[in-house]
Structure 1
């Protein structure tokens, strides 16, 4: 397995799926923490699965998933299945921490 660093832009355009193969969305952009760690902290998803998010996204462009939910990155990005439930919970409740998921 190649462990060499990759450009962040290689994440843009990749499809995001749950561990069980449910399409979540496509990466449109990344959120970076350039002050402390120069690390990716979130994935901004567009073209999200309307069956998962439905009416919650009527006037919104997409969602931002915390990068800590990412399980694997390859040709596609896999997130833990439990996070789909977490995203739906966070989207329906007021978000107190801006570093967690949000509607974009």
Structure 2
């Protein structure tokens, strides 16, 4: 995050926006690589329905790779999600 160690749980509840300022969702959980002690993904819920209504069907969230994260502060900024969305059979977007 900003160089100061923080609890991973501090991410939960933060809003996520694309770097273009589009609301994407809210962090509900994090995906961890325990062996390497790194966050590998963010589980988002309360999604922007305009972005996801045709992509997730009955599912209630998405998992985005942590490598998409651009900045973490009061909110989390990720790469422009609209340009990065893949079809469901591609592994970049995993439905939770």
TM-score normalised by the chain length of structure 2:
0.90
Alignment correspondent of 2:82: 84
Query: How far, CA to CA, are the matches of 1:84 and 1:65 in structure 2?
Result: 12
Indicate the SS of the match to 2:13: coil
Instruction: Give the superposition deviation at 1:80.
Output: 1.4
Q: Which runs of 5+ in 2 are unaligned?
A: none
RMSD: 1.4
Alignment correspondent of 1:47: 46
Instruction: Give the superposition deviation at 1:57.
Output: 2.2
| Maintained 8 Å contact 2:55/2:88 | no
Q: Which runs of 5+ in 1 are unaligned?
A: none
Query: How far, CA to CA, are the matches of 1:15 and 1:68 in structure 2?
Result: 17
Question: After the TM superposition, which segments of 4 or more aligned residues of structure 1 sit over 6 Å from their partners?
Answer: none
TM-score normalised by the chain length of structure 1:
0.84
Q: Which has the larger share of helix?
A: 1
Q: 1:1-104 maps to which residues of 2 (within 5 A)?
A: 3-35=3-35, 37-81=36-80, 83-87=81-85, 89=86, 92-95=87-90, 97=91, 100-104=92-96
The total of aligned residue pairs comes to 95
